[in-house]
Chains A and B, each alone.
Chain A
Amino acid sequence: MFDLERWQEIFDTIRKNKLRTFLTGVSVASGIFMLVILLGFGEGMQNGIAYEFEQDATTIVEVWPGVTTKEFKGLNPGRRIQLRNDNYNSSNSLFGDKIEYKSPLIFVQNVTVNYGKEALVYGVRGVSYDYQFIDNAKLAEGRFLNYLDEKNTGKVAIIGRKIKQDVFKSVDTPVGEFINISGVLFKIVGVFDEREEREEERIYIPVTTAQKVFNGADRISNISYTMPAVDNFDEAVVQAVAFKENLRSHLQQVHTVAPDDTSAIQVWSALEEAKRYFSLTGNIKFFFWFVGICTIIAGVVGVSNIMLIVVKERTREIGIRKALGAKPWSIVGMILHEAIFVTAISGFAGLIFSMGLLEIVGPYIEVDYVKNPSVNFNVALATVFVLILAGTIAGFFPAWRAANIHTIDALRDE
């Protein structure tokens, strides 16, 4: 391997057989290139999906009522279910140990919102003070709702950043300003950030205020929970599904709904949904690996093919060399040395090129569900070595056979 003379001989051969060398190189480099790009995108999709799910707490469980579709205990289908404070409280006490944060949610209907002379066409929601953690809202200014606001039915509001940008351009900060919601003045105490603008077009007020001031009585629209984080993802999913089912059957009993009537009480678990996505990305990753490995195999076959042709083409030359005193091992060594050298150089070229592409272009890719595609360097390096090894093995057998052809037969080869 470190024989300088051998290297010179190899370089001579490579220099004088450029096309052959080029073709071998391209088939190896493209194999590595494809694999790295595919693996990179597999990783990118996983990153992207993880990112999408980061927005809300991933352990979130939401409940919203619907319309019954089945007759049950003498009650007709088509009945609209209304959640009430009682449902919220009883669920909390029944499943308290499974719950991390909890909040009811009221969509305040038929109100007008004004700031000075300006009308604000944004949704108003009544929520509890824990809702900040459920929604993963980041506070940009001021504070979120607190326990006292809720207890004292405080007339305070939190607005999204988008509303601040749209309406409160004239003031330094909207905190301390008052908005008029259907004749009642609310003091803005905080501004929150969300990743999506749509979610920043909301005004939050305490749930108790929403019920008392806007004719809510004890009605609530939705209930949101988050569950305490569990290290093991699969276990977390199992717990989430169990919680979801228990919660649903409790609410079904309270509202006299048939146990199999899923549209009357709808419960959604982000974890369950996430699992679906993660197993999807798992599959996609597996698929990319599969395609990548097929590409590598195609590369290996390509290299073997070229090696076969190379050896065939050089049979006569091998005969000449043997007549001049080349030993069989030196023939095998020469052919393999060249093969390994070309495969290694082009393999690393493909590796560097594709990794460079991922590094440079990767961070700028802005497609939903694909984020920062990257690839584990060690994995990529390993594939290069696999390819070199495979190329060596693929080259060895024809080389060995050629080196052991009878010299006269090799010389007669046309």
Chain B
Amino acid sequence: MIEIKDLHKSYKMGSNSLHVLKGINFSCKEGELVAIMGSSGSGKSTLLNILGMLDEADEGEYILDGIPIKNLNETKAANYRNKFLGFIFQSFNLINYKTALENVALPLYYQKMPRKQRQEKALKYLEQVGLKEWSHHLPSELSGGQKQRVAIARAMVAEPKVLLADELTGALDSTTSYEVMDLIQKINDQGNTILVVTHEPDIAQMCKRIIHLKDGVIVKDEKVKQVRATANV
């Protein structure tokens, strides 16, 4: 599903440049649930941004489901993001004046799906995350866990090839975190490919594979025995 070869990325900070990713090689197959771990500054967020086409690598290859991702302009990147990727952020990033339903339906708006169809589909995904009754509530009326579930529904609604989650439990307490991870695992069970960036070991243990990043290189790539989140709830 994802293939990365010799990926380099550096940021210019005034006169000296900061080499963040120093040749990452990594591939992941369909249906995997991968945690990317590392301390802050290890380059894990940069890697996720490049995978999410929010940022572009200086060097190296990136192939997503057989499509080489290169020479992106904003329009092309927007198109790929819309079709191939679903994002889940630490800070939820819901639009605060739109209801849960409208938030979930937004990616479909950019696919030019008719309104009615959009709302039906959004409602279906809200139901999947258990928030059907909350569909007409504004984000401010939802709890943190509910917000993140809305965000997951939004990431899922366009049926992307890969879900990218950046510290998705970072703003949640542990009980809620496990609830959210339980949902992520269930989505993964349905065959979806999910990449989770985290620095919490217990969250990482709930994935099937952990990649350890340190100073811009992969230091360890291990398959782990998945801990089911339900056990902790």
Residues of A within 8 A of B (CB): 5, 8-9, 12-13, 16-17, 316-317, 319-330, 404, 406-408, 411
The reply on B98 being an interface residue by CB < 8 A is yes
User: What 3 A-B pairs have minimum CB-CB distances, sorted nearest first?
Assistant: A325-B82, A16-B97, A325-B110
Q: A324-B87, A325-B107, A408-B55 are in contact. Are A316 and B93 (CB under 8 A)?
A: yes
When chains A and B are docked, how far (Å) is the Cα of A324 from the Cα of B225?
A: 33
Stretch at the interface among B2-10, B23-31, B72-80, B142-150: B72-80
Cα separation A330 to B49 with both chains bound (whole Å): 22
Query: Is B220 in contact with chain A by the CB < 8 A criterion?
Result: no
Nearest residue (CB) in A for B102 is A12
Query: Which A residues touch B154, using CB under 8 A?
Result: 324
What residues on B are CB-neighbors of A316 within 8 Å?
93
A411 B79 Cβ-Cβ under 8 A = no
Which B residues form the contact surface with A (CB < 8 A)? 49, 52, 54-55, 74-75, 78-79, 81-83, 87, 89, 93-95, 97-98, 102, 106-107, 109-112, 114-115, 154, 158
Residue from the list B89, B95, B98, B115 in contact with A5, Cβ < 8 A: B115
Docked-complex contact B102 and A325, CB < 8 angstroms: no
Cβ B78 vs Cβ A317 within 8 A = no
What residue of chain B has the Cβ atom nearest to residue A324's Cβ?
B107
With A12-B102, A404-B74 as given contacts, are A317 and B111 in contact (CB-CB < 8 Å)? no
- Once A12-B98, A404-B74 are accepted as A-B contacts, the answer to whether A325 and B93 lie under 8 Å apart by CB is no
Residues on the A chain within 8 Å of B49, using CB:
408
B135 to chain A, nearest CB (A): 15
CB distance from A373 to the nearest CB of B (A): 43
Q: Is the CB of A325 within 8 A of B115?
A: no
Q: Please tell me which one of the listed residues B95, B112, B115 contacts residue A320 in the complex, with CB atoms under 8 A apart.
A: B95
Q: Dominant SS at the A interface?
A: helix
Least Cβ distance of B114 to chain A in Å?
8
Which residue on chain A has the smallest CB distance to residue B73?
Answer: A328
CB closest residue in chain B, given A320:
B93
Quick one: closest A residue to B94, CB to CB?
Answer: A320
Q: Which residues of A contact B95 (CB under 8 A)?
A: 317, 320-321
- With A9-B109, A320-B95, A408-B55 known as contacts, the answer to whether A327 contacts B81 (CB < 8 A) is no
Give the shortest distance, in Å, between B102 (CB) and chain A (any CB): 7
- A13, B97: Cβ atoms under 8 Å? yes
Name 6 interchain pairs, CB-CB below 8 A, sorted by A. A9-B109, A319-B93, A325-B82, A326-B110, A327-B79, A329-B75
9 further A-B contacts with Cβ under 8 Å, apart from A9-B109, A12-B102, A320-B93, are A316-B93, A323-B54, A324-B82, A324-B87, A325-B158, A327-B78, A330-B110, A404-B74, A407-B54
* Cα of A327 to Cα of B76 in the assembled complex, Å: 8
Within the complex, the shortest CB–CB distance from B233 to chain A, in Å, comes to: 29
| Residues A322 and B97 in contact, CB atoms below 8 Å apart | no
Which B residues touch A411, using CB under 8 A? 89, 93
User: Quick check: A327 and B75 within 8 Å, CB to CB?
Assistant: yes
B153 CB, min distance to chain A CBs, angstroms: 13
User: Quick one: given A8-B115, A408-B54, are A325 and B79 in contact (CB under 8 Å)?
Assistant: yes
Taking CB atoms, residues of chain A closer than 8 Å to B94 are 320
| B90 CB to nearest A CB, Å | 10
Q: Is the CB of A328 within 8 A of B93?
A: no
Chain A residues with CB under 8 A of B111: 325
Shortest beta-carbon distance from B139 to chain A in Å: 11
Closest to B151 in A: A320
CA distance A404 to B55 in the complex (A): 13
The 8 Å CB contact of A325, one of B78, B89, B97, is B78
Bound together, the chains give a CA A325 to CA B112 distance in angstroms of: 11
* Nearest A-chain residue to B45, judged by Cβ: A408
Which of A17, A319, A326 counts the most B-chain CB atoms under 10 A from its CB? A326
Distance A85 CA – B117 CA, assembled complex (angstroms): 100
Task: Give the Cβ gap from B53 to chain A, nearest Cβ, in Å.
Answer: 9
- Report how far A339 CA is from B97 CA in the complex, Å: 18
The answer to whether B93 touches A5 (Cβ under 8 A) is: no
- Complex CA distance for A16 and B158, rounded to whole angstroms: 25
Whole-angstrom distance between the Cβ of B128 and the nearest chain A Cβ? 18
Would you give the shortest CB distance from A408 to chain B, in whole angstroms? Answer: 5
Smallest beta-carbon distance B32→chain A, Å = 22
Give CA–CA (A326, B109) in the complex, Å.
9
Docked Cα-Cα span, A103 to B112, in Å, equals: 85
Q: With a CB–CB cut-off of 8 A, which chain A residues contact B89?
A: 411
A322 to chain B, nearest CB (A): 6
* Known pairs A324-B87, A324-B110, A325-B79; A17 contacts B97 (CB<8 A): yes
Question: Among the interface residues B78, B106, B110, which one has the most CB atoms of the partner chain A within 10 A?
Answer: B78
Assembled-state Cα–Cα distance A324/B80 (Å):
10
> In the assembled complex, which residues on chain B have CB atoms less than 8 Å from the CB atom of A12?
98, 102
